Amino acid sequence: MPPHPNISILLVDDKSENLLALEAILNPLGQTLVKASSGQEALRHLLHQDFALILLDVQMPGMDGFETATLIRQRSRSRSTPIIFLTAFDTDKVQIFRGYSLGAVDYLIKPFDPDILKSKVSVFVELHQKNIAIQQQAAQLAALNAQLTASEERFRLLSACSPIGIFLTDTTGCLTYTNPRCQELWNWSLDCESRSTGWLHRVYPDDRSWTSIEWTTALHTRQPFEGEFRFLLEDNREAWVHLRAAPLISEQRAFLGYVGTIEDITGRKQAEIQQAQLLQEQIARQEAEAANRLKDEFLMVLSHELRTPLSPILTWSQILQTRNPSADKMRQGLTTIERNAKLQLRLIEDILDVSRIIQGKLKLTRRPIGLIAVVKEALATVRFVAESKGIDLQLTIPKPDLNFQVDGDPARLQQVISNLLNNAIKFTPEGGRVEVQIDTVEEESQMDEGTNSTSGREKISLGTALARVTVTDTGKGISPTFLPYIFDRFRQADSSSTRPDPGLGLGLAIARHLVELHDGTIHAASPGEDRGATFTVRLPLLPELQRDDPQEQQVSVSVESFPTSTANLDGVSVLVVDDADDTREVLEMALKDLGATVTVAASADEALAAFKRQPPHILISDIGMPDRDGYDLIGQIRALDALSGGSIPAIALTGYAGDKDRQRAIAAGFQKHLSKPIDPQILAEVVTSLIEKCEVLSVEC
């Protein structure tokens, strides 16, 4: 506490010696002693100064002590100042009463004991000092009350005028206060929200679970809470809110509850949703524009690629029909027609494969196979093209003693390797080199270090033993900007009308998908344009215990030769049904050349009539025909009994080449489904196989 202030004591006596005596007695108290020799002088001092105590002599000339006391009491500032009367004479009771009535607190008879005087004065000094301290404390308390009142008023105004809701909770999370904004916007009432669930029961049901967990966690750990979620209003409307809450901690570090704010952010959320929708629409529009652009480019390329082989086909057809060509010219023309027809067929097959991939209907027939034989088969199919460009085509097998057996579909894996080889040969200039290498590797990383590379889905785990097939060429290479898109459908580095390299840009996309179906990976790497490219296929090797005899898995075709058919249809009667005249004629000619007896029909009705006259050994029928299609025809034939030919083996030969078409044909009653165009040798082999299997000449199929 601060030291007691120095107070003033007024000494009034007409005798100077008495004043000196009083001063000597009271000086040890350490207070300010003011002397006055008359009542008038005492009053003059009281005009300018306040005193804690007045020692007033009664008998004084002019104005005695009582008169002076009377005037002192008339002033408001000195009305309560204690007065001790000093007198040398005994006073009667009347005088004493008069003195006390004027505010006297004591009488002392001269001569008085100095210790008694000092003791009594000390009491009044201490009392005055305590009064001063009380007044100071009262002033401080009044100031604090004023500050508190002002603070409460500010809080009231802030809470009442705040644009956001303000609330308080107790230590259990129940509301103890809500400002008018809370009550206005959310209709919060303490009677409702002070229950055990607090404000959580107002949260939208889909948001309530995670909000409740986070709020409960914050409450138990006494951590701040913040979240954005939806509220249910009284009319069941949704409103987005942003709620913040901070723990209230007292000066003694006691947890008192939470103070929080809640703000309506529905407008902002709606704007964000609209902005996101606009962004999505913009992205969708850009993607649609890009897709349309790619589609237009693809259709342009498709038109070019399909029409290009038609030109030599039609030209040579006209030459062979209108002129009398020599044997060499005839052979040259037919070879050209066949080559371009096969090119068109490959384009159509690629388009169908992509369609199957998009629909998820491309299936594999997997079994253990030797990868070396598959690669040699693919090399055989491209060797003629490579030789025509003077390209050195090499096959390297660093470990020829290994079987390189994988679990796969041999036809589809051959298609992968063929696509990579065709791509390499196409982009390699004359006199270049294309090398194929088969080896093994253990998967250690997902990318070849130091190369630009792109791959499909990664399915191979680290440490797996892999068969690796790499196709490396010395061609035009791949630019770094196009490399990430090398396996995309309908994407070409150059789709302009001046591009030097033909193709639809589907081969690599099909190869990637087929490799992924085999649980493998495919990578493309290139140092840059005009520096060649390398494509790497990795396939999981079969464990030793799962491998079959490698000799049994060798594909019958070598690198040097193509397959030849030994089918012989001597003595086999065939009924060919097709509404296209050219198709009927070419099939009739091809089958007769193989020794078959052929009957042709242009419709289902003609076929049924021919069938009733003489049932053939085998039926080959188109599907798409006017009036009644091939499904109706086979249905009527299967309705016949076995003796009438109801069990005859039947082949659907059609331009409908999809998986659904094949399944429908088999379900309708055909044993085989073949797509147009068909190699006559392959058709003959299928016919022979069906006849041998069904033994139709002696046993029902």
Q: How many Cβ atoms sit within 10 Å of the Cβ of residue 525?
A: 21
- pLDDT for 620: 92
The answer to whether the CB of 566 falls within 8 A of the CB of 546 is no
> Residue 49: what pLDDT?
87
Burial of 330 (0-12, 13-18, 19+ CB in 10 A): middle
Instruction: Place 546 in a pLDDT band, splitting at 50, 70 and 90.
Output: very low
Q: Is the pLDDT of residue 449 over 60?
A: no
Write down the pLDDT at residue 186: 67
**What φ, ψ does residue 606 adopt, rounded to 5°?**
-60, -40
The two three-digit tokens of residue 672, written as one number: 């085989």
Which residues partner with 650 through β-bridges? 619
Q: Tell me the backbone φ, ψ of residue 93, rounded to 5 degrees.
A: -65, -30
The three-class DSSP label of residue 172 is: coil
Q: What share of the chain is helix, strand, coil (3-state, %, to 5)?
A: 45, 20, 35
Written in H, E and C, the secondary structure of 206-228 is HHHHHHHHHHHHHHHHCCCEEEE
Bridge-based pairing state of the strands 453-455 and 597-601: unpaired
Rounded average pLDDT over 33-50: 89
Q: How are beta strands 433-442 and 465-473 bridged, if at all?
A: antiparallel
pLDDT at 631 over 50: yes
Q: Which amino acid is at 585?
A: E
Domains belonging to the chain, first-starting first, are 8-136 (3.40.50.2300), 162-264 (3.30.450.20), 270-355 (1.10.287), 366-553 (3.30.565.10), 573-694 (3.40.50.2300)
Please name the amino acid found at residue 375: V
Q: What is the pLDDT of residue 460?
A: 52
Identity at 332, one-letter amino acid code: Q
DSSP for 269-290 reads HHHHHHHHHHHHHHHHHHHHHH
Residue 465, pLDDT score: 84
Q: pLDDT value at position 660?
A: 77
- Contact between 232 and 209 under an 8 Å Cβ cutoff? The reply is no
Cβ contact 535:471 at 8 Å: yes
Q: What is the mean pLDDT of residues 85-104?
A: 72
Cα angle for residues 148, 154, 157 (degrees, 5° grid): 140
**pLDDT exceeds cutoff 50 at 358:** yes
Query: What is the predicted pLDDT for the residue at 485?
Result: 81
Give residues with Cβ within 8 angstroms of 166, minimum separation 6. Answer: 159, 177, 178, 179, 181, 182, 259, 260, 261
pLDDT (tens digit per residue) in 583-630: 788 888 888 888 889 999 999 999 998 888 888 999 999 888 888 889
Show the CA angle centred on residue 132, arms to residues 104 and 52, nearest 5°.
Answer: 30
How far apart are the C-alpha atoms of 343 and 371, rounded to whole Å?
Answer: 26
* Mean pLDDT value of segment 491-510: 53
Amino acid identity, residue 351? I
Q: From CA 73, how far away is CA 83, in angstroms rounded?
A: 10
**pTM of the predicted structure, to 2 decimals:** 0.45
- Cis status of the peptide bond prior to 3, with omega within 30 of 0: no
What does 477-521 look like in DSSP terms, one character per residue? Answer: ---TTTGGGTTSTT--S--STT-SS-S-S-HHHHHHHHHHHTT-E
* 139-166 pLDDT per residue, tens: 888 888 888 777 767 766 666 667 788 8
Q: Are 42 and 54 in contact (CB under 8 A)?
A: yes
Structure tokens of 395? 């096959």
Does the pLDDT at position 688 exceed 90?
no
> Which of 305-314, 569-578, 616-625 comes out lowest in average pLDDT?
305-314
Sign of the torsion angle spanned by Cα atoms 90, 95, 101, 103: negative
Exposure string over 445-464, b if 16+ CB within 10 A, otherwise e? eeeeeeebbbbbeeebeeee
CA atoms within a 13 Å half-sphere pointing along the CA-CB vector of 405: 18
- Whole-number Å distance between alpha carbons of 333 and 319: 8
